[in-house]
Amino acid sequence: MTAATTPIVEAVDVEKTLGEGAGRVQALRGVSLALKGGELTLLMGPSGSGKTTLLSILGGMLTPTRGTVRLAGETTTGAGPETLARLRRTHVGFVFQSYHLFPTLTAIENVRLVLDVRGEHGEDAPERAAAALATVGLAHKHHAFPRELSGGEQQRVAIARAVVGRTAALFADEPTASLDGDNGRAIMTVLADIAKDPRRAVLVVTHDPRTLPFADRIVRIEDGRIVAEEAGAHAGPAPREPAPNESASPKSVSPKSVSPESVSPESVSPESASPESQGSPHAP
Ligand SMILES: Nc1ncnc2c1ncn2[C@@H]1O[C@H](COP(=O)(O)OP(=O)(O)OP(=O)(O)O)[C@@H](O)[C@H]1O
Ligand SMILES: [Mg+2]
């Protein structure tokens, strides 16, 4: 399933310093990583190791202090805010660690906003937004405001928003953190199905062992450096159901098939939800 093509996103020897004065932190210390189409990569590492910072840089929300990032063939190093906004809008879907839903918009309006920002005002826009919500199991919550949704439901709206635009790069920061077993697996199935497309790459930051069966590749980061890379359970032959006498270890879970192409996957984060506009890759 790995396409030997030009990477969709590529970081070369990236360093990132955050904060000022005594609060200065070198969050990334020479990271090189290429995300190819047709691959779902998991990024794992301790709290504070630089995962969100790396995702924000790969997704064009932050620019590196040193090194090069190429997104769909264009370099983001030294790019201005308008260029970055265009690159994100065109190529990137993002699920933020803390959702970043717009509180005054309903679930379906939060999803529709992505299509509006992309200039996709066609007749099928309402249908696409509805299909994206259906894929995450929220067909019955179109008109709910974020405050009327549980944490897991808000997380699923954020995922619908990330997939509705069918972007080449999809980044998700802890997308299963607030989800129970079934919903977590359903969401990972949506993301893994997107990554079957050789024109699309998915990177998931996670601590959740339930995501392991869906990975083509696992990248480990510690203290701002990539310390290990390994093939994921999903990289080999297709997952199989465990034999009756086999224990249900994460590797033996067989992702069940939800059809994501009933979705019009993708998503660009609304510009105003960009961490850059908040001066930090973190939630407010
Ligand atoms: N705006 C900022 N100013 C100063 N330091 C920051 C800023 N944002 C992040 N950091 C620091 O950079 C380092 C990497 O942070 P990052 O958010 O990328 O970690 P993470 O791996 O995503 O952690 P977690 O698993 O807790 O989400 C941490 O030491 C953090 O404190
Ligand atoms: Mg983080």
Residue ID of nearest Cα to ligand 1 atom 18: 50
- As residues whose CB is below 5 A from the ion ligand 2, the structure lists 52
Query: Is residue 50 within 6 Å of ligand 1 at its C-beta?
Result: yes
| Weakly modelled stretches of the chain, pLDDT under 70 | 1-5, 236-284
The angle at the Cα of 154, spanning 63 to 191, to the nearest 5 degrees, equals 65
Q: Which is the closest atom of ligand 1 to the Cα of 55?
A: 18
Q: What is the set of domains in the chain, with CATH numbers?
A: 37-48+92-238+248-273 (3.40.50.300)
User: What pLDDT does 165 receive?
Assistant: 92
Give the residue, out of 53, 65, 205, 276, with the most ligand 1 atoms within 8 A of its beta carbon, to mutate for a pocket test: 53
Measured from the alpha carbon of residue 96, the closest ligand is: 2
151-163 helix and 125-135 helix, angle to the nearest 10 degrees: 130
User: What pLDDT does 233 receive?
Assistant: 85
Question: Cα–Cα distance between 135 and 191 in angstroms, integer?
Answer: 11
Count of CB atoms within 10 A of residue 251's CB?
A: 14
CA of 119 to the centre of ligand 1 (A): 33
Residue ID of nearest Cα to ligand 1 atom 26: 47
Query: Please, which residues have CB within 8 angstroms of residue 256's CB and are 6 or more apart in sequence?
Result: 185, 186, 189
DSSP letters of 204-273? EE---GGGGGG-SEEEEEETTEEEEEEE-TTSSSPP-PPPTTS---GGG-------GGGS-------GGG
Nearest to 68 by CA among 11, 24, 137: 11
State phi, psi for 233 to the nearest 5 degrees. Answer: -60, -25
For residue 266, give both structure tokens.
Answer: 């993708």
